[in-house]
Amino acid sequence: MAAVRDVEIDPEGTFKYILVRLQRRGGGEQRDIVRGTKAAEFHNHIFEKVNPEMEKLGYECKCLGGGKIEHNSKDKKIRVFGLSTGYGKADHSVTVEILKKEYTDYEITWSDDKK
């Protein structure tokens, strides 16, 4: 699982994100990852890109929900909020903990706000 990065999000802007649980086929170790991009019009577009990539590596994927990320690299701030109509709201507190591992010098917050 070390080959898979915990976080892959756009370096700037406000965009949709999903929280994905990876698991080795047949059970065993599992891990949650965060993926987000402005290129995705809908949350399922992110999952449709991530799922085949992870299947090639031998993982099963489950989307745990989604939301939005506001990434301000200049001020080193990330805000996690909102929800996915299709997948429901991700546990933003889990997302923030994952983001903190990657963006150690950032101020990272979350809320249940829609905007």
Contact (Cβ atoms closer than 8 angstroms) between residue 78 and residue 13: no
Contact (Cβ atoms closer than 8 angstroms) between residue 65 and residue 19: yes
Q: How far is CA 35 from CA 26, 28, 50, in A?
A: 24, 22, 8
Catalytic residue, from 43, 45, 71, 92: name it. Answer: 43
Predicted confidence band at 14 (pLDDT cuts at 50, 70, 90)?
A: very high
What global pTM score does this model have?
Answer: 0.95
Tokens of 9: 């999000």
From 82, 19, 72, select the one nearest 46 (Cα to Cα).
19
Q: What class, spelled out in words, does domain 7-111 have in CATH? A: alpha beta
Measured torsion, CA atoms of residues 50, 69, 15, 99, in degrees rounded to the nearest 10: -40
71 is catalytic: no
Residues 42-73: tens digit of each pLDDT: 999 999 999 999 999 999 999 999 999 999 99
Tokens of 27: 């059970």
Confirm or deny that 56 is annotated as ligand binding: no
CA atoms within 13 A on the CB side of 49: 14
Region 11-22: mean pLDDT is: 98
